[in-house]
Amino acid sequence: MTTEPKIREISPDETLEVCARQIIVSYFHQMMSYKEGAKDGSDIEFVHQMRVTSRRLRAAMDNFADCFPEKSFKKHYKKIKLITQTMGAVRDLDVLIVRFEKELGALPEIEQADIRKLIEHLQQEREDARKPMLMLFVELEETDFEKKFLTFFQGY
Amino acid sequence: MAKAHKITGVVLQGSYRENARIILPQKVEEVYTWEPFIRDAARREELHNMRISIKRLRYTMEIFQVAYRSPKMPAKTAATTNDKRFNEFLGVIVDLQEILGDVHDCDVVLEVLTDYGMQAEQGGVAPGIAKHIAQTQETRNADYKTFLEKWEHLSAIDFKQKLLSFLAS
């Protein structure tokens, strides 16, 4: 799994508008490629990569906003922001759980018990944080978001 | 989290190369709007906002890296000149992002441990949690010190001006 931007083929002599479309579409495809893994949830890397790529996509959209009609652009931007935020809630808990699990082995037994209780508490919070994420995925599918986004940004 | 500053002055029908030189300096300036706050270790929000602005700069540099290769040189040669310098600047930005990320991680852990400690134990915070809070605070102090040292070093060598000159070239 990689977050390397797949934008090497951009020609710097092309117009900004043409390149902006290529980059946004490329990041979008990359972001959505992690969705099924994130939904499954057994490998925490998928949520991480989907969140990182959504941030890269937003950074690109911030830079290229002027290339697109404002109203529709904002609607799509808000949805990507919501994806980042929803994934972020899960990712933050994944990071904490992994961090405390790693530290467990080095602790005396009595402290281990305290940290184990904390990990259980965080795992429950993680389950709760996954619910909005899964609901968002359903909404994206039901509203045909992927197709609408690509139609708008591919433009032709 | 603060919003990204609005990018102005782009030339839609201008080349990608030309627009890189309009957009990237604005991203650098966004990072530096947080500078007045960073010498106070307690300004968590501003340190976090600087980290986010640095991340935006990093991603934007990666997007525009291709626009800093010399058009007249073969790709292989260009990779040893402009690309090398570009990667050096980018490396500094990534380094700053990472150390501020460490500071932020500690801030999040401290918040979680403190909240959890207060909720879970009526007779005082559990020893394992209390010890963790103290250790994390120490790590946070050390990470913040490292960040500030790096920042002061970059200020001393006029990193901002060097970066802006390179990006405008």
Mean pLDDT of the B95-123 span: 89
| Closest residue, chain A, to B14 (C-alpha) | A15
Q: Compute chain A's Rg from CA coordinates.
A: 19
Q: Does B99 touch chain A (CB under 8 A)?
A: no
Distances in Å between the alpha carbon of B135 and those of A15, A82, A120, B41? 52, 34, 21, 17
Please state, as a whole number, how many other Cβ atoms lie within 10 Å of the Cβ of residue A108.
10
Interface residue A14 vs chain B (CB under 8 A) = yes
CA dist., res. B163 & res. A63, Å (int): 19
**B15 phi and psi, to 5 degrees?**
-75, 160
Three-class DSSP category at A146: helix
Residue-range domain boundaries for chain B = 16-168
Alpha-carbon span A31 to A22, nearest angstrom: 14
3-state SS assignment for residue B74: coil
Rounded Cα gap, residues B101 and B58, in angstroms = 14
Q: In the prediction, which pLDDT does A106 show?
A: 86
Q: Where are the domains of chain A?
A: 16-151
Superfamily of structural domain A16-151: CHAD domain (1.40.20.10)
Using CA atoms, how far residue A109 sits from A97, B60, B109, in Å, is 18, 47, 21
- For residue B86, the distance in angstroms to the closest alpha carbon of chain A comes to 15
Give the residue with greater pLDDT, A109 vs B38.
Answer: B38
Q: Which of B105, B90, B93 has its CA nearest to residue B142?
A: B105
Count residue pairs from A and B with Cβ separation < 8 A: 101
Contact state of A11 with B16 under an 8 Å Cβ cutoff: yes
Taking CA–CA distances from B65, the nearest residue in chain A reads A8
Q: Which chain B residues are Cβ-neighbours of A97 within 8 angstroms? A: none
Binary contact (B105, A95; C-beta < 8 A): yes
**Minimal C-alpha gap between B43 and chain A (Å):** 21
Query: B12, A13: Cβ pair inside 8 Å?
Result: no
Residues A72 and A153: their CA atoms lie apart, in Å, by 10
CA distance B74 to B76: 6
Give start and end residues of each alpha helix (H) in B65-168: 75-80, 82-120, 127-156, 159-168
Predicted ipTM of the assembly: 0.90
Contact A63, B9 (CB under 8 A): no
CA distance from start to end of chain B: 32
At which residue do the structure tokens 């700069």 appear?
Answer: B57
Angle separating helix axes B82-120 and A70-104, nearest 10 degrees: 70
Q: Return d(Cα A85, Cα A78) in angstroms, integer.
A: 10
Q: Look at A20-29, A122-131, B110-119 and tell me which has the smallest mean pLDDT.
A: B110-119
Are the beta carbons of B63 and A7 separated by less than 8 Å?
Answer: yes
Reported as a single tens digit per residue, the pLDDT across A11-67 is 999 999 999 999 999 999 999 999 999 999 999 999 999 999 999 999 999 999 999
DSSP state of B122: T
Using an 8 Å CB-CB cutoff, list chain B residues near A98. none
Q: Alpha-carbon distance A19 to B17, whole Å?
A: 10
pLDDT of residue A2 exceeding 60? no
Q: What is the pLDDT of residues B49-107, one digit of tens each?
A: 999 999 999 999 999 999 998 666 655 555 667 888 999 999 999 999 999 999 999 99
Cβ contact A114–B105 (<8 Å): no
**A46 burial level (CB within 10 Å; 0-12, 13-18, 19+):** buried
Cα–Cα–Cα angle for A15, A19, A20, nearest 5°?
A: 110
What is the nearest CA distance from A16 to chain B, expressed in angstroms?
A: 5
Query: DSSP label at B164?
Result: H
B118 interface with A at CB cutoff 8 Å = no
| B15 beta partners | A15
Chain B nearest CA to A97, separation (Å): 10
Q: What is the nearest CA distance from B137 to chain A, expressed in angstroms?
A: 15
Average pLDDT of chain B, as a whole number:
91
